[in-house]
Chain A
Amino acid sequence: MVERTVRVGSSHGLHARPAKLFTQAAAGSGSSVTIAKAGGAPVNAASILAVIAQGIDHGDEVTVVVDGGDEQRVLDELVELLSTDHDE
């Protein structure tokens, strides 16, 4: 199990398109992935509704936990996705 905390780079936060890109990647990773907002409970990162419902905004810190599969590579990819601004 590996985890990392990262700041969300998308200017509109983790809603709409960025949320879709992130959950698509999490669902397709073959690992079990959770995401948690600072101080919040972790939710299934493959669930677009759970992710959107976190109300994660630009600049929020989130912690991603990857369990199983190619953990390190999956974590790197997801962190990269989260820190990129997809709303440019």
Chain B
Amino acid sequence: MEFRGTGIGQGVAVGPVVRMAERLPEPVDRPSHLDPAREEERARASVSVVADDLQRKGAQAGGAAQDVLEAQAMMAEDPTLMDDVVKRLADGKTAERAVYEAFAAFRDLLSSMGGYMGERAADLDDVSQRVVAHLLKVPAPGVPNPGHPFVLVARDLAPADTALLDLTQVLGLVTIDGGPTSHTAILAREKSIVAIVGAADASALADGDTVIVDAENDLVVQSPDADAVAAAKERIAERAARAAAPITPGALADGTAVPLLANLGSADGAAGAVELGAEGVGLFRTEFLFLDADRAPSVSEQQEQYTRLLSAFPGRKVVVRVLDAGADKPLAFLNDAEEENPALGLRGIRALRHAEVILREQLTALATADAATDADLWVMAPMIATVDETRYFTDLCRELGLKTAGVMVETPSAALIADRVLGVADFASIGTNDLTQYTMAADRLLGTVANLQDPWAPAVLRLVAEVGAAGGRLGKPVGICGEAAADPLLAVVLVGLGASTLSMSPSALADVRASLARYTREDAERIARAALAAEGAAEAKQAAKQAAESAPTPTGTTVP
């Protein structure tokens, strides 16, 4: 059996399936047919098994995780909690229901206290699920730990689950829900986990099935034969060799330079990105400075962070995006009004213009950091839709002493009038995630419309071509900083459409570098034309693949 989904990256993995159990439904509140003493025995037996299990996992994990797991073990066997359970059993409830209610009561108490106690509420929830699962004799929800390397199959992962993934054990990841821009996909890309997301039929996979996860071909193969497994293993080895190849600047086979830049969310990732061959930063997101804050950080706080970032890239280009608040990342001090359609609301440059002092402070901090370091700082504004907004931003940048001011192209409007936008801005950077969301009118966080969230959609490519052509005519650089640039074949298409730089998660750099080196500019343009002319996203990808296969192998290059 084969299942289709959306592959993240180019990796291949082979291994046994372990399914992540789904969250348990709330136990039904019905009278028990056992007497309370018997129900109490059941409850005590289950908490003791769960506590022992958590203790054992803690001892295995060591370090900070051990403290958390031991604390959870103590929560499972907590005497105050058990008193509450016994009280509820006396009312004739089942052990499942009594345990569920007692944990929920404590959880509500802790989360109402906030802060450190609030964080414990999630730990408690997890313990509750484990105990109830044991009582019901079903697998405990959460990321499994079978003790051997495995392919994780899940409906979707919560951010907390992904944080717990042991990357030495998880060979690959298959999700049934979720699209290429879901948080799971972004995380998989960031951590280089071989993943297929949105494989709706993968719910047919069972624990212990051997599967090949083929992200390059968007395919999960159930119970493959020996030849297929051998071929997959060969590809895994080839890819490892490619990652170990010497790092060279990004370029096409004919020598055309295509600088490969990194997307970063904090200054901490800078050193790692340089190590993987990033030639600069194509998108530095500044939201981390503002989230969890009920006020904007001070100019000096910001300046310190920007200086740290810029110092890591002496002589290199660093593109910083000013605060992109709103939609899925609202900020209390910036977006106070309830919006029915936040993705179409007061976000990005619209919100900043509304609260100009925040933008002025950020640009001031950036200008000061720029003056103190040797990096080549470019700044850009998110969510630009009009020339007026472009002019507003670039004027402000110049007033505050920033040399290079550009815009993100995320709205179809900005793409369609790119010639006029680029008449004002120094450069454009295409955010393919939002551009896809707005072009296809499909919420990027919504699994039910994930099939529309595909940057291969010819409509999206057409808009990219508009911007690329305008940049070419005006001599203004056009970069790509959305996830699309991390797809090695799509990266070639984007260059063929006129992109001059590509920015991506550092983990994708090696694959994209190898892919660009296989094609000349002429090839790239031909492959792009094939994709543009297709009927839909899947057809565009297929057409690009065919066009790429017919490209002659450049001399002196080994095809991996």
Give A residues with C-beta under 8 Å from B: 12-13, 15-17, 19-20, 23-24, 27, 43-44, 46-50, 52-53, 55
Contact = CB atoms under 8 A, between A and B. Distances in A.
Given A47-B81, A52-B120, A55-B113, A17 B71 contact: yes
A57 B124 CA distance: 21
Contacts of B74: 20, 23-24, 27, 48
Interface of A is mostly: helix
A14 to B, nearest CB: 10
Interface residues of B, number: 18
B67 A48 contact: no
Given A47-B80, A49-B81, A16 B116 contact: yes
A63 B119 CA distance: 26
Contacts of A46: 79
Interface of B is mostly: helix
Interface of B: 67, 70-71, 74-75, 78-81, 106, 109-110, 113, 116-117, 119-120, 124
Contact of A47 (B78, B109, B120): B78
A46 B109 CA distance: 19
A44 B116 contact: no
Contact of B116 (A12, A27, A48): A12
Given A20-B70, A47-B78, A48-B75, 18 more contacts: A12-B116, A15-B117, A16-B119, A20-B67, A20-B74, A23-B74, A24-B74, A27-B74, A47-B80, A49-B75, A49-B78, A49-B80, A49-B81, A49-B106, A50-B78, A52-B110, A53-B117, A55-B113
Contact of B71 (A13, A19, A44): A19
B63 to A, nearest CB: 12
Given A16-B71, A17-B67, A23-B74, A52 B80 contact: no
Contacts of A13: 116
Contacts of B106: 49, 53
A54 B408 CA distance: 50
Contacts of B81: 47, 49
Nearest to A19: B71
Contact of A15 (B79, B80, B120): B120
A86 B201 CA distance: 49
Given A20-B71, A53-B113, A44 B120 contact: no
